[in-house]
Amino acid sequence: MSFPDVRLRRLRQSPAVRGLVRETSLEPRNLVLPLFVREGISEAVPIGSMPGVAQHSLDSLRAAAVDAADAGVGGVMLFGVPAVRDAQGSGADDPKGILNVATEVLAAEVGDALVVQTDLCLDEFTDHGHCGVLAADGSVDNDATLVRYASMALAQARAGSQLLGLSGMMDGQVAVIRAALDAEGFTGTLLLAYAAKYASAFYGPFREAVDSQLKGDRRTYQLDPGNRREGVREAVVDEQEGADIVMVKPAMAFLDVLREVRDTVDIPVWAYQVSGEYAMIEAAAANGWIDRRASILESLLSIRRAGADAVLTYWATDAARWLRG
Ligand code: PBG
């Protein structure tokens, strides 16, 4: 038997050797749990397409956040589901709006244990379901939306959010929101820019989760899934505008974009393992076709390997518990 004596298997001979040479780690502190809070309910309502995930009441929300904190999760990202919607998304910047009320509750309850974060976008609050307000011709009005986002940012910061997740994909949103926050003294509020957010089919279950009113699609503001360079460019612009962290979303179908963004910007990069990614693994596991826990941990490790410093995942609490043993 003769071949060039390069024996790569030496590095894989035992768990201890493999442990010493593993390049990527996954820890509870790298995980962020997205949570849905719905106005006007007294008990959690399960989401059919996301088994194990629910729309929370204020009480069940508090319990889920405490659970996440106990498991060592690094943060929670809050989404609000209002009872009433309108064209401007008035519930979004109303201090009595469900998202802002829930933020106050969580900031008081777990604000010292993890980073309380809020989604900053109008789609859950508008009766047409778009991420911005509409112009007379029905198109999404970028600059008019920025005025609404600035107001929403202040409402969230006042409610105690430590980090705002800018998920609306409007041009200039990072710069405008940073200026609005700084002008009111909120210089410490972190901005996470959903820089490379693609118009993806994998958001399907999320739309049920937030009772989305959208008809049509978001292709005039979210990225075309075929475009990698454009995704990197979005991240570069967001970094220049003052984002503290940039995001790539979805995660698993866009790992090449994630790697390139990581290699291009200097700030932290996060990824969002979205609802469709969750649903696929849960459905296959429920059928006995894949090992649930192993698949979940492998998917998260792979997102870290591709370059994510932290991952938003609906499995954050479960995964954190498994990682802690
Ligand atoms: C929109 C928003 C979306 C998600 C988070 N924020 C989807 C959309 O564009 O409709 C998707 C998250 C997921 O699928 O888990 N503000």
> Which of 85, 148, 178, 197 does the annotation list as catalytic?
197
Q: Quick one: angle between helices 316-324 and 292-305, nearest 10?
A: 100
> What integer pLDDT is reported at residue 1 of this predicted model?
73
By CB neighbour count within 10 A (0-12 exposed, 13-18 middle, 19+ buried), where does 33 fall? buried
249 catalytic residue (yes or no)? yes
Atom of ligand 1 nearest to the CA of 273: 15
| Alpha carbons 121 and 167: distance in angstroms, whole number | 6
Helix orientation angle between 255-264 and 228-241, rounded to the nearest 10 degrees:
40
Predicted structure pTM score: 0.97
Q: Is 197 a catalytic residue?
A: yes
Within 6 A (CB) of ligand 1 lie 119, 121, 123, 131, 167, 203, 206-207, 218, 274-275
Distance, CA 132 to ligand 1 centroid (Å)? 14
Segment 104-139, tens digit of pLDDT:
999 999 999 999 999 999 999 999 999 999 999 999
Cβ atoms 32, 74 nearer than 8 A: yes
- Domain boundaries defined on the chain: 25-324
Residue nearest to atom 11 of ligand 1 (CA): 203
Cα torsion 135, 140, 143, 144: sign: positive
Find, among 155, 144, 118, the residue nearest to 34 by Cα: 118
- Residue 121 CA to residue 153 CA, distance in Å, equals 10
State residue 4's pLDDT score. 81
Single out the catalytic residue among 130, 249, 262, 304: 249
For the CA of 204, the closest atom of ligand 1 is 14
Nearest CA to ligand 1 atom 7: 203
Residue 158 Cα distances to 33, 42, 164, 283, 292, angstroms? 22, 25, 12, 40, 40
Tens digit of pLDDT at every position of the chain (325 positions): 778 889 999 999 999 999 999 999 999 999 999 999 999 999 999 999 999 999 999 999 999 999 999 999 999 999 999 999 999 999 999 999 999 999 999 999 999 999 999 999 999 999 999 999 999 999 999 999 999 999 999 999 999 999 999 999 999 999 999 999 999 999 999 999 999 999 999 999 998 888 899 999 999 999 999 999 999 999 999 999 999 999 999 999 999 999 999 999 999 999 999 999 999 999 999 999 999 999 999 999 999 999 999 999 999 999 999 999 8
CA 273 to chain centroid: 8
CA 116 to centroid of ligand 1, rounded, Å: 18
| CA-121 nearest atom, ligand 1 | 16
What CATH architecture is 25-324? Alpha-Beta Barrel (3.20)
Instruction: Provide the pLDDT for residue 22.
Output: 97
